[in-house]
Chains A and B, each alone.
Chain A
């Protein structure tokens, strides 16, 4: 039986990826350039008995999302810069209360209204540092329509595995371009469902660390009753200001992710084996980088690309290793140097770092990257 193939937009593919993952709840608010995700979900979810709601603003959308997730649903929202900024407080709520959900954020020109139909990659730091307080972050960077589909499936798996909000962040180009896509067969991609607690309701504690760093989350309405709050809390979910609990819980919520970095981080190494120049790229910019690397190789330049697929957690280990090997990194991105900061942090001066930074609403093109290679000493 041949695979179901379609010619879809990134946003549309993301919605179908969510359905594949078993998402049965969407709460959103219209915003260019991510509205198509909501439109597809409003059509597809009712077909499978799922629930779609368009809320009164992005804050309401994020709140309803968390409510739906606490009621046991795999829940998705889609937004863009201004909406991502509005959702920040409740993204933090999702982190501290440890509520699995997926935030699909399409990056457009910022800040503020910026360039609604123009591409950018300037929300990456927002995904990591957007909300107040210490918290972990997982953010995936699709570079194709197929990856919009596949990465949303992975994002749900990560959200359930680590019990937290997970970002999928295409730039506007990836979200709006159309490409051939293969719908995945049942069983083809792993789908991780929420594990029910192993203890009866009377013994259930929503943050019981005897189950390790990711305690199972029961569902409202499933026979379990428990308390959820945004305050620092005890294993039974009730607020506490006791120093040892607050410190231990904050550290656990980071440890649960950063002790598993090797399971989470994903990347693509393209022609890096003997590379002297490494282009670090993500999203649609990586397509220009791939073209530039091929061109460079044709001209005898030993260049390669490291494509970041999970921006958070950042691939520290891999970039550190490359810094010992290559003469220089070229970091092309549609912002004024956010990824460069992270590459510099990892390279620790061991390699030259040259940024290509476009915020004019136009993608970085291969010629720019090729040109920049000449500056690597």
Chain B
């Protein structure tokens, strides 16, 4: 009955550092269930992250783990994957790490379609540094650096990933916990660059400043805002107003980067 999450957690690392009600722990549990579903071998799996709350995830996971520099996870992981294409490479990080300082590496990893899965835990804020706005913070919302309301428009991370060339793009939420592992497992199985955006919640630095009275209220907001892409097809524009599509939103096949480089080696006569 009780799920054995600890089998993939490094002994002695819990309790983790994430704040009460932060969704990152829920995402990590989803990742563990997905890795179990695919029975990924620990020694053959690398989890790579940048800097930020979400990027502390690899430290808890019992496999090859690489906690890099702010925004650089995708570039480090590209090196690991190209050097050892047989490894399962999973990227994790937050919205700021991934789409602000990490934006350039993010879009190029999508463009290359290198076979790895990038889980972006989008909580609309830079949590670790105390709640500054990020490229995902909705316009008008409050953050420690937008006390008068955020003037910035936000990225649609899913469209950004699709536009840059990612061949599998999905979105889930921390409320829909039982969907998280399904999306991640499908993303890992997909050959190419897969992006799974998980709408997350940050009660401590985002929730408090944006009139969410409790963790539960933030979770209910995720429940209300999400519309499965299948259901959305039968909904009118008004009904979809302010809603966010979830599920597998993009899935195409395109040559994978390491396969293409293997052909370069072939053409260069490197396999003799």
Q: Interface residues, chain A, CB within 8 Å of chain B? A: 25, 27, 43, 46-51, 53, 55-57, 59-61, 63-73, 75, 89-90, 93, 201, 220-221, 223-231, 238-239
Contact = CB atoms under 8 A, between A and B. Distances in A.
A220 B76 contact: no
A137 to B, nearest CB: 19
The 10 A-B residue pairs whose C-beta atoms are closest, nearest first, are: A67-B79, A64-B79, A63-B75, A46-B268, A71-B83, A60-B75, A229-B67, A221-B84, A68-B79, A56-B108
A224 B67 contact: no
B80 A71 contact: yes
Nearest to A221: B84
Given A64-B76, A228-B66, A239-B59, A48 B46 contact: no
Interface of B: 10, 42-44, 46, 48, 58-59, 62-69, 72, 75-84, 86-87, 104-105, 108, 261, 264-265, 267-271
Given A49-B265, A228-B65, A60 B108 contact: yes
Given A71-B84, A225-B65, 15 more contacts: A49-B271, A55-B75, A55-B78, A56-B105, A59-B72, A64-B76, A64-B78, A64-B79, A66-B76, A67-B66, A67-B76, A68-B80, A70-B66, A225-B62, A227-B59
B105 A60 contact: yes
B11 to A, nearest CB: 11
Nearest to B65: A227
A27 B64 contact: no
B265 A46 contact: yes
A49 B77 CA distance: 20
B68 A221 contact: no
A48 B264 CA distance: 11
Contact of A93 (B42, B68, B86, B270): B68
A228 B43 CA distance: 14
A299 to B, nearest CB: 55
A5 B139 CA distance: 65
Given A90-B69, A93-B69, A63 B83 contact: no
A220 B59 contact: no
A2 to B, nearest CB: 26
A64 B80 CA distance: 7
Contact of A46 (B63, B66, B267): B267
Contacts of B79: 25, 27, 53, 63-71, 75
B268 to A, nearest CB: 3
A53 B82 contact: yes
Contacts of A90: 69, 72
24 contacts: A25-B79, A49-B265, A59-B105, A60-B108, A63-B69, A63-B75, A64-B76, A64-B78, A64-B79, A67-B75, A67-B76, A67-B81, A68-B82, A71-B83, A71-B84, A71-B87, A90-B72, A220-B84, A221-B43, A221-B64, A221-B80, A224-B43, A227-B65, A231-B67
Between A49, A50, A89, A220, the greatest number of chain B beta carbons within 10 A of the residue's beta carbon is seen for: A220
Between A61, A64, A75, A226, the greatest number of chain B beta carbons within 10 A of the residue's beta carbon is seen for: A64
A93 B65 CA distance: 15
Contacts of A47: 268-270
A46 B59 contact: no
Contacts of B64: 220-221, 224-226
B66 A221 contact: no
A55 B77 CA distance: 12
Contacts of A51: 82-83, 261
Between A60, A65, A75, A89, the greatest number of chain B beta carbons within 10 A of the residue's beta carbon is seen for: A60
